[in-house]
Amino acid sequence: MSDTNLIQKVNRTEIIIALLAVYISWGSTYLAIRIALESFPPFFMMGIRFFVVGVGLYIFLKIKGSATPTLSQWANALLIGSLLFLGGGAGVAYAEQWVASGLAALVIATTPLWTVMFAWIWKHRSSRMEWAGLIVGLIGVVLLNLDGDLRASPLGAFSLIFASIAWSLGSMWSLRLDLPSGMMANAIEMIAGGMLVLVVSFFSGEKINVIPTLSSIAAIVYLAVFGSLVGFSAYMYLLKRVRPALATSYAYVNPVIAVILGIWIAGEQITEIGITAMVVIIAGVLLVMFGQRKYSV
């Protein structure tokens, strides 16, 4: 086997492993967030998760000899961290105070649809199939908002939609800014983003009013290790090596995993409207995915 073929085979294997890591870890984080919320307020829980993992990863990389990020790179990390972790991650946790984990995952499934909108910012033309997917996906979101849980919590619904938009924008923008190479970019983004979330937690007056349960503590550890360290690192790896369509394909896998886990472990229920909305949203995301096979994003 030639060196080129060997490299291609290794790359394919790494990409498959990264995809599985994102699918499984992020598909299960919605339920983990719900369990953690039983004892911890949302912003504190998400902020401490991101900040601790980011600091730990930063120290590890510095010991390994990674270069110190510049002030400009820290500033860019603060911008991306605010979108990914304050707007995106913390937005989901905030919404899950009222919205079931499976429904939250369904709304976040619209993330790839927003890439069609943000593509215009960088003057990329979208295909007709992408626009069709966007329209279909938005119809799914409208249907989903007819579900009882979301109608009962308009703030939760808004928070989830905003989280999806913020995550999509942060993901695309991160590819166009000066950031450190490799996992150092992940580390400083989590440090900066986690710090912002903790600041919001402090000024919003969050307090831990009950003795944390072992299940909530275990959920935070799970979120830190699998959601932040494994899942986020695998996602950023994919963003830099494959089309955004493939990197964001977790969006139509995670809801299925999240709904199954929510029903199986937490006793959540999904209505006929929710099932219909899931099918419509996934159809819209698939149209965007296939539309991007021919057109650069």
CB 187 within 8 A of CB 100: no
User: What HEC string does 183-197 produce?
Assistant: HHHHHHHHHHHHHHH
| From 16-20, 75-79, 89-93, the region with the lowest mean pLDDT | 16-20
At residue 207, what is the residue type? K
How many beta carbons lie within 10 A of that of residue 98, not counting itself? 17
Of 101, 98, 111, the C-alpha closest to 27 is: 101
Ranges of each domain in the chain: 3-291
Segment 105-160, tens digit of pLDDT: 878 877 877 776 776 676 666 677 877 877 887 787 777 767 666 667 788 889 99
Tell me the range of 1-15, 39-53, 128-142, 263-277 where mean pLDDT is highest: 39-53
* Arithmetic mean of pLDDT over the chain: 84
Q: How far apart are CA 165 and CA 154, in angstroms?
A: 17
> What is the pTM (predicted TM-score) of this model?
0.81
CB 77 within 8 A of CB 69: yes
Query: pLDDT band at 238, cuts 50/70/90?
Result: confident
Q: How far apart are CA 292 and CA 18, in angstroms?
A: 20
Segment 47-83, tens digit of pLDDT: 999 999 999 999 999 999 999 999 999 999 999 999 9
Would you say how long the chain is, in residues? 297
